[in-house]
């Protein structure tokens, strides 16, 4: 916990004396700050794993497209897609981690809420770009993995392209459908449905940190 905040709480406890309701309120406030600090730290730490996953994904994709430079076909495109996906994993992971590490629950509420809002916006974009892309990305992911392990180009088994087109179309329809549902929910006043979709895309760690900081904000408002 922030040292200045701890001194402030101890001073307030001493000033409260025998006022048990006041003491309980101070204890609850201290607990809220501690929980918010733990939640933001957990959010920052969770992005380390994302970065560590992104590095081999990026390198694997790069090795495949580099190997396929003389033959810029579907396997080459799959390597490029996997390479870009790895780069996005790293970029989003680093960005959200840096923002989460800068949040101090003892700082002014406006400051912490603004930073948390930034994280939620970035995590929302990440959810659409990195999360929902798996509706389509699973195809190049499997192709890249099989090629890396065995050297076999899975696209040879789908020479007419119908299997690939059908699966890509399904992925695009699924992603577009969810986006349209979210947009309809916003426009029709069904905010809970839209927020539920947003929460699904941003992830549990972001939701936990936002709730913990909201608890701190409520104590500050009282």
- What integer pLDDT is reported at residue 6 of this predicted model? 55
What pLDDT, on the 0 to 100 scale, is given for residue 62?
94
Instruction: Say how many domains are in the chain.
Output: 1
Locus of tokens 């495109």: 77
Provide the total of helices (H) and of strands (E) in the chain, helices listed first.
Answer: 8, 0
pLDDT, residue 221, reads 60
Count of alpha carbons within 13 Å of 119, Cβ hemisphere only?
A: 30
- 143/145 Cα distance (integer angstroms): 6
How many beta carbons lie within 10 A of that of residue 189, not counting itself? 9
Whole-number pLDDT of residue 79: 92
pLDDT value, residue 144: 92
- Give residue 34's pLDDT: 84
Residue pair 208/36 in contact (Cβ under 8 Å)? The answer is no
**Splitting the chain (222 residues) into consecutive groups of 10 residues, what average pLDDT does each group show?**
57 53 63 84 92 95 90 87 94 94 84 89 90 86 91 78 73 85 85 80 86 79 60
Q: How far is CA 151 from the centre of its chain?
A: 33
Structural domain span for residue 119: 3-221
């Amino acid at each position: 916990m922030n040292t200045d905040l701890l001194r402030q709480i101890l001073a307030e406890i001493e000033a409260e004396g025998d006022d048990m309701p006041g003491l309980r309120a101070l204890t609850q406030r201290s607990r809220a700050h501690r929980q918010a600090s733990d939640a933001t730290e957990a959010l920052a730490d969770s992005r380390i794993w994302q970065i560590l996953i992104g590095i081999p994904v990026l390198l694997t994709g790069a090795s495949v497209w580099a190997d396929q430079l003389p033959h810029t076909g579907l396997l080459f495109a799959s390597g490029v897609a996997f390479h870009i996906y790895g780069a996005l994993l790293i970029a989003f992971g680093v960005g959200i981690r840096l923002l989460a590490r800068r949040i101090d629950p003892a700082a002014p509420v406006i400051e912490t809420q603004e930073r948390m809002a930034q994280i939620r916006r970035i995590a929302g974009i990440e959810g659409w770009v990195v999360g929902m892309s798996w509706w389509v990305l699973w195809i190049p992911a499997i192709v890249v993995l099989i090629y890396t392990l065995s050297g076999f180009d899975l696209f040879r088994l789908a020479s007419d392209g119908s299997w690939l087109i059908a699966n890509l179309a399904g992925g695009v329809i699924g992603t577009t459908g969810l986006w349209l549902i979210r947009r309809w929910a916003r426009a029709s006043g069904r905010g809970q449905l839209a927020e539920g979709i947003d929460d699904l895309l941003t992830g549990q760690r972001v939701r936990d940190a936002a709730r913990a900081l909201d608890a701190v904000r409520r104590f500050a408002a009282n």
